[in-house]
Amino acid sequence: MATLRRALFKTNIRNSGINPQGFHPSQIKFYVILAPLVAFMLLPMIFIFSHAFKPPDELFAFPPRFFVVNPTLKNFTDLFSKMSTSGVPVSRYLFNSVLVTALTVGASILVSTTAAYALSKKRFKLKQTLFAINTVALMFVPIAVTIPRFLIIERLALLDNFWVHILPGLAMPVGLFLIKQFIDGVPDEVVEAAQIDGANDVQIYLTVILPMILPAVATIAILTFQATWNNAETSTLYVTNESLKTFAFYLTTLTATSASTGANTVAGQGVAAAASLIMFLPNLIIFVLLQSQVMSTMSHSGLK
């Protein structure tokens, strides 16, 4: 393993200093430019929190108010009271969402990283063709492939099946593209050194590649989490068994039912605002926990 350690040491030396520690007066000009941009980008998150606590008169105030003046918890009490009247326990929907999200994130990371390693460091026929197909897939928005996806899911007998929440989510072109580009930055001499030391592909993948692409893995984990946690389309199109549906679908139907009744339009908007905040919080938490890795990915997109 001596050859591998020397190669890794050289790589770490080349990548030191990417994220400087401490503050220097020369950084002030960057803060002057970035601070207003940060404040502007925080506005949607502030609005989600503010909107969820608005009383009915502020929800429909004209002109609309950005910040809540008289915050209230009534939107949340209305939401929880409607949950208590559900035919299927809310805990079932929540359990489905947590399980589906965890399995999809884990499986997506495994599929994306192994495929990216093969496309980046292995030699085989149609390698460039397969990567080109993945790149072309980035151009298609989900709505454009709704019918082909439905036909494929039907042929695979996944309709009204728990796995329909997970298997389609494993095909994530942006994840494969990002991780492949990241692995391209891993020096070939590091992989060659591991091969000289007798490591096989599985050992190289687990002990060399994965530790060096953790920022990209964290980024893919966030993207997959957001796509899966907020996904209500699968439960709508492919699942009829209520006990197999997810929490995101339950909240959308709950708020839609509330807003569709003329007498409860205002209350329905309050419930929708509270539900939006509940769905948003896990996304915010997971990003805060992994944001340092994401920033590393965006700063250099691989090892130089």
Amino acid 69 reads V
Distance of CA 192 to the CA centre of its chain: 33
99 within domain boundaries: yes
Mean pLDDT of the chain: 80
Which tens digits make up the pLDDT trace of 207-226? 888 888 888 888 888 889 98
**DSSP secondary structure letter of residue 16:** T
Distance of CA 255 to the CA centre of its chain: 24
Q: Among 303, 92, 60, 48, which Cα is nearest to 190's?
A: 303
Please tell me the pTM assigned to this model.
0.77
Count of domains in the chain?
1
For every residue of 138-169, DSSP letters joined together read TT--GGGGHHHHHHHHHHTT-TT-GGGGTGGG
Sign of CA dihedral 13, 19, 25, 30: positive
Residue 174 Cα distances to 29, 113, 160, angstroms = 33, 12, 27
What's the domain range around 262? 74-300
Write the CATH number for 289: 1.10.3720.10
202 within domain boundaries: yes
Mean pLDDT score, 136-153: 85
Amino acid 189 reads E
Spatial contact of 109 and 217, defined as CB atoms under 8 Å apart: yes
Which tens digits make up the pLDDT trace of 79-88? 887 777 767 7
b/e map 232-270, b = 16+ CB within 10 Å: bebbeebbeeeebbbbbbbbbebbeebbeeeeeeebbbb
Question: What CA–CA distance (Å, rounded) separates 271 from 121?
Answer: 51
224 within domain boundaries: yes
167 within domain boundaries: yes
Per-residue pLDDT for 304 more than 70?
no
15 within domain boundaries: no
Question: What CA–CA distance (Å, rounded) separates 300 from 222?
Answer: 18
260 within domain boundaries: yes
pLDDT band at 104 (very low <50, low <70, confident <90, very high): very high
Of residues 281 and 13, more confidently modeled: 281
Distance of CA 275 to the CA centre of its chain: 19
67 within domain boundaries: no
pLDDT band at 259 (very low <50, low <70, confident <90, very high): very low
